[in-house]
Structure 1
Amino acid sequence: MLRAAFWMTALLLVPLGLLLYFLPGSAAQLIGISPLWLARASGGLLLAWGLFQLFAGAQPDGAKVGGLVTGNLLTVATLLPALLKLQTSLPPSLRLVLWVVVGWLGLAALLALFAAPLGGRGGEAGVR
């Protein structure tokens, strides 16, 4: 189940990053992104984060799980307030996509958090 959280994150971020990175100027204006370089930079970051999660899911450890959970929850914490505040002014299709992203990343973070082992020695921390 822990690997599923990594794969869920990668499955969402890699296509989203590619979409934003190669977003045509006309589509950028439709969704309200004025400077196209912002979409490209965001796409590059999402693509890199998604590829890292794809490869990190092969052999997850405590640091990788911590990075996955922290990154996903920070993304959710960034998008959720903006989504709630701008809900009525966003186009319905963009609003749905943002809700899917928030829910998907939140679920992946919770899966990783609950599936990760608690101690470095399987619960025997401090016992010699």
Structure 2
Amino acid sequence: MTVSYTATVDVTGEGRNGGTARSDDGLLEHDLAIPKELGGAGTATNPEQLFAAGWAACFLGALRRAAALRKVRLTSTEITAEVTLSQDEDGEFGLSAALHPRIGGVDQQTAQELAEAAHQICPYSKATRGNIAVTVTATAV
């Protein structure tokens, strides 16, 4: 396999509780905070938001690729990605996700088929497959 790109990010401080994430190229620099819902200050982004943003952006690229492979012309694409942090009875944390692409220029069946195809193509989807619960629900707009 040929490496296409490697993202490098350093996190300093307390990680999700008051740390800072910085990319080696300086384009990403964000303070991190625990969300209010988990008892934190909620004054900065958190790892789940960053993961959702990366996955959503990647998924839209995969969606466009799935459409192009099928010679389907899309008029618009948007997505909401929800990444949920849960705690089980043993106190262990885990993730789940819900992806909600909104696809213009196609009917509902085609929208869902393209979303399922994108879920097979997207590297984030591949990385999480079999590891966390993921739902993909498309809407034709």
Return the structure number with greater strand share.
Answer: 2
Q: If the length of structure 2 is used for normalisation, what is the TM-score? A: 0.26
Q: If the length of structure 1 is used for normalisation, what is the TM-score? A: 0.28
Specify which structure has the bigger relative contact order, considering alpha-carbon pairs within 8 angstroms and separated by 6 or more residues: 1
Return the structure number with greater helix share.
Answer: 1
